[in-house]
Amino acid sequence: MNDTEDGFSWLFGFESMSRHRASWMTGSDDVILEFLEDTGAGLNYQGIANNFEDRNIEISYKTITRRLPKLESAGLVRVLPGEGRYYAITEKGEQYLQGEADLRDEPEPNA
């Protein structure tokens, strides 16, 4: 497992909590969710990509555009109302990050 797949634990120097990831999820999903939780902001694809680049997080724009719709379909992120597609983490997404939501039986979204 590389640093990106391990989420932000490498950055803050602590072990990640026991998370129960769905089989279709990737380490990039954890990083995206952690970033959205950490910022508390609603960001579009380019906003997330720009922030990742500034922080030397090696997740491409293409990966972000592929993963966010899956995370949305799974109820882990939501699109904020208004113009454009600005994503924010949901309560379910936060519960997953805290190890409180077991996603192992979640089917793969069609997104």
pLDDT of residue 37: 96
β-pairing, 87-89 vs 77-79, is antiparallel
- For residue 110, what pLDDT band results from cuts at 50, 70 and 90? confident
Q: Rounded to the nearest 5 degrees, what angle is found at the Cα of 107, between the Cα atoms of 42 and 2?
A: 65
Per-residue pLDDT tens over the stretch 49-95 = 999 999 999 999 999 999 999 999 999 999 999 898 999 999 999 99
Cβ–Cβ < 8 Å for 32, 64: yes
Q: Which amino acid is at 54?
A: D
Tokens 């910022």 correspond to: 39
How far apart are alpha carbons 77 and 36 in whole angstroms? 9
Q: What are phi and psi of 77, to 5 degrees?
A: -135, 160
Q: Per-residue pLDDT averaged across 42-54, rounded? A: 96
How far apart are alpha carbons 93 and 6 in whole angstroms? 16
